[in-house]
Structure 1
Amino acid sequence: MALFTPVVTNLIAVAVIWKYLFQERYGFVNYALSWFGIHPIDWLGNPHMSMPTIILFALWKNFGYSMIIVLAGLQAIPDELYEAARLDGASAWRQVRHITLPMLGPTLMTVGLLTMVGYFQLFAEPYVMTQGGPLQSTLSVLYLLYEQGFNWWNLGFASAIAFVLFVFTMIATWVLMRFGRRKGWV
């Protein structure tokens, strides 16, 4: 339950909380680091630290969803395969390598595909936490589309960004599906 809680919470509310947690002067993260003698870090104001901080937030937010899918994949593996492997004298490592990972292949490919498509559409996190800054270091494709279309009214350019994002997503999906077919997962 604790792993799935970030998935069901409101993205905007949690992003605002994380923004305050990573605040340079009064944030809890810098307060905790000060216990170890580490000077405050401007997590969201430093161009080199802002995108890793947002990526960490997005990973934390979506981790539970991926784990539920992987758990379903693990539960779908028949116990008889492990029993037969134990009778044949297979070690735990060999069971993981020859049973668990091959049987989880389609599940891991599904998680990879959903994660990839989801991260191509990263918008709310940089919008709420940094507004694309500092120095546009957290500017995602969807945030650029939003800025061009709704802030600058360059609707043609925004449409072109959306089309290129669609084509890029389709190509990446095709490559992943081709890899899955080669492995026999699709």
Structure 2
Amino acid sequence: MPTGVAMRDAREQLFDAAERVLLRDGPEALTSRAVTTEAGCAKGLLHKHFTDFDGFLAELVMDRIRRLDDQAEVLLKAAGQGSVVDNLTTMLTDLFGSVAVAIVSLTISRDGLRARLREAVPTGVPILSEAGRVVMDYLKAEQTYGRIPADADLNTLGLTLIGSTHLLFADRTGVRPTTDEVRAFVASVV
């Protein structure tokens, strides 16, 4: 690997490389060597920017969780417009069609990573908990428009949508559910 060559946005390039390895090969293949090889840089670069590999992974997960804010904004702007089922289907398909399922697997498989994430996300499964918050905020907004019944149990509805959609997408190596399959599930829950 080349040394002495400056990388622009090294952290983001390392995060993107880790995401590619994670999506392609799964959490068991995610090592510091795999990440730096994928990024095309020296292994020392990762350790220059992060205390250790679990620290790198924790920051990767937190970065991907922060990206949910963009999805949350889009979903909240959709409240009162279009179909509730379609809005939720789009959000859930985008979320679980991304790296989220692999991040859940990664978090579950690494004790050190889980311990570090507990400092920032004390309860629940990181990324799923935050996605649940996004869905619940949207459901509350739709409730104000009268599109979700006032007496609906939003906590149960939100947890059901997040947990069950995660299960639909959980088999990383299998066939992904289609948008129509996700829409049918969301419609049955809502």
TM-score norm. by structure 2 comes to 0.30
**Larger Rg belongs to:** 1
